[in-house]
Structure 1
Amino acid sequence: MVRSSSAAFLVSLSPIQSTSTPPTFIPIPISPYSRKKARYSDLLIVPPSNVLEEELQNSVRELLAANKEQKSLLISMQSSLVLNGAYCDLVRGQLAAQEESKKSKKGKLVGNGIPRLLTSKDFVRCVVAFQKAAEEKEAEMKKRRATKAEKSTAMSQWKELEKARKAENVAIRARWQEDVKAWEEERDRAKANRQRPSWNKPVLKGQLFSPVPKPTFATNDQEEPIAGPSRLPVNTDSDKSESEDSEDENESADDE
């Protein structure tokens, strides 16, 4: 199926070109979490009159918990696909610029009257000199310092990805806090009825997105970040957010 579709380049042995467009992902609408009372709460708060009703209520709670977990996973997967799409667009832009730079290079050796037989010693020397000059030029182009426009474009794209990542982490943390609150209500209800909660306490660990690496450019002998250190500076909003992420993860793990 893939080989006969527009995504055939993904399973092809040929190098991927910047014109190769990955399949477009169209997110599906997902209803927001309800801040009101949980579904079927009127049925679940009624004390069961027999064993069958108690089992039915427990089954409803398990199904509601499973549905909520699947919804959370779906939101997380769609968010990942959106960020991956932005990353692919960024890489394709860089690949297109690299392809344009290769077009300007000479790909064939012109002997200027020298015999073009491979057995000719003079021609072989010209070939060697040509290849050496081409390699040195390519190495020099790789080592050159990036222009101000290239740095500005790369930083703008990186900031957009970081902004989207932080916004998604805020949404994930908000949903996690709602899940924890619902779990605490369920825990108190189960404790009052001398029962165990019907689902485990939600954890934040593994759900948050890691920071997007800062773009770097090669200088004379080594790679340097385009602005400032490779890590985010101390006492910034980003660091504060990341530290809160780790604290929330540790707190959820400790409560478990």
Structure 2
Amino acid sequence: MAPSLESSTRGTLPIQQSSPVRLMTGMISDYMDYQQLQMRPMDEDLPLATPSPSTPAPFFVRSAVDGLSSTSASFLLTSSPLKSTSAPPTFKPYTLSPIKNDSRYSHLFGFAPQSAREAELMQALRESESRDNSRKRSMAEMQASTVLAGMYTNRAQAQLQAAEERKRRKTGKRKMGDGKAKYFSGDDFYRLCVEDDEKKEQEAAEKLKRAADREAHASRLATWQEANEAIRTKNAERRAEYSTDVASWETEKAAAKAEKRRPNWPKPKLADYGIETLLPKPKKGDHDDPEEEDSDDQSGNGSED
């Protein structure tokens, strides 16, 4: 016989879920019952009932969709773009009991079956416990996936909100964007036109100034690179000269040691060869005249030679 009450075949979770989740859970359960009814023949002589492609959606599907449209997840049924305020339904996981290594029915499995019926029941109990543990592992994996999906949704929602804020901060370029008619000779409109022209001129001047600053900075960078390259070349020549003098001194030192005397000159020092340090890289905020820097660098290089 069929159960008299729907609640007699429906379980409830320890934690109350949100209304969209409850609706979808009920629809899935109803669909499973609907499939069983479709697979059950009404008469042994009649074939199984197979729904045709043109069969309308069952009532429980339409009822669930109608109910979902009145919940916080109604935005899922519309074709309008998602907003950052459209939060998905939250899933509240409940605590799972730990999976024990030892069977909870170990005291029953300790008895030897006295009949074939008892052996079948004991095997069925083992299979039932194995299925229970398997479902528990699957539930833990589903809850973990739901938590990770929630983290992803939170980040996506934050990025969507940031994009909406950036779009909202963009100001229009129309002088009067309210769509209402205006007198071209009115004082307010004339004032807006003057302010708009001044703003455009200021923006154009700032743009030209930034371009000039970039060109000046590029020129300073080129001069800096050339000057440092010249310093590197001079330093390489002076280091080579230092190495040659050190080799000569080593020869003199060996000869003096063989003749039991002191070397005729002291060991050369690298600091005496005028090794120059590289110039610091110019910064973008530096507005010095490039021609003055060129003249200073050239005069400095000439004095060092």
TM-score, L = length of structure 2: 0.35
Q: Which has the larger radius of gyration?
A: 2
Higher relative contact order (CA 8 A, sep 6+): 1
